[in-house]
């Protein structure tokens, strides 16, 4: 069977500030977006303590994805070793729907996560997570 290859839907800007990875993401999103995101993050691995970092995800616009794309993302999340992920829903068009979709992916991945409506609260929580010692 022929597999269609689609162009990437969604935009991402990734920055690194010490032990915090920040991802500005604008949707809607498809599998190709998550594959591209995964490749961008691979490049940063050498600059990041892969066992000791947090992530701030700032979603924008219609930050929704198809069930297929979310299944791919959930599998990817299971490989991530972040101490915590803060998801800012302040700029999304449909916060309740986006939260429900993201919550399922993060719960299934086992990552410590929380939702926020501003960056300052999210960063404060991530700093608290970094201050907690990790059991050996």
What span, in angstroms and rounded, lies between the C-alpha atoms of 108 and 20?
A: 22
CATH of the domain at 62: 3.30.750.24
Question: Does residue 8 surpass a pLDDT of 80?
Answer: no
Q: Is 115 helix (H, G, I), strand (E, B) or coil?
A: strand
Range of the domain at 80: 11-131
111 within some domain? yes
What span, in angstroms and rounded, lies between the C-alpha atoms of 76 and 72?
A: 6
6 within some domain? no
| Tally of structural domains, the chain | 1
pLDDT of 48: 84
pLDDT of 1: 42
pLDDT of 5: 59
What span, in angstroms and rounded, lies between the C-alpha atoms of 115 and 92?
A: 12
Which residues fall within 8 angstroms of residue 58, CB to CB, at 6 or more apart? Answer: 22, 23, 24, 25, 88, 90, 91, 119
One-character DSSP codes across 48-106:
S-TTS-EEEEEEEEEEEE-HHHHHHHHHHHTT---SEEEEEEEEES-HHHHHHHHHHHH
136 within some domain? no
5 within some domain? no
Q: What is the pLDDT of residues 78-107, one digit of tens each?
A: 988 889 999 999 999 999 999 999 999 999
Neighbouring-strand partners of residue 6: none
4 within some domain? no
Q: Is 39 helix (H, G, I), strand (E, B) or coil?
A: helix
Q: What is the pLDDT of residues 39-81, one digit of tens each?
A: 888 888 888 887 789 999 999 998 888 888 899 999 999 988 8
53 within some domain? yes
Q: How far apart are the two ends of the chain, measured CA to CA in Å?
A: 48
126 within some domain? yes
pLDDT of 100: 92
3 within some domain? no
DSSP-assigned letter for residue 7: -
């Amino acid at each position: 069977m022929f597999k269609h290859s689609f162009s990437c839907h969604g935009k991402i800007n990734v920055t690194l500030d010490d032990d915090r990875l920040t991802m500005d993401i604008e949707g809607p999103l498809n599998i190709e977006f998550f594959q591209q995101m995964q490749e961008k993050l691979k490049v940063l691995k050498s600059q990041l303590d892969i066992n000791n970092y947090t992530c701030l995800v700032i979603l924008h616009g219609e930050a929704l994805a198809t069930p297929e794309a979310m299944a791919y993302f959930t599998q990817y999340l299971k490989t991530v070793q972040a101490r915590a992920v803060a998801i800012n829903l302040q700029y999304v068009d449909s916060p309740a729907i986006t939260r429900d979709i993201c919550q399922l992916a993060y719960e299934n991945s086992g990552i410590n996560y929380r939702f926020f409506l501003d960056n300052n609260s999210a960063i404060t929580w991530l700093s608290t997570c970094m201050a907690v010692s990790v059991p050996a």
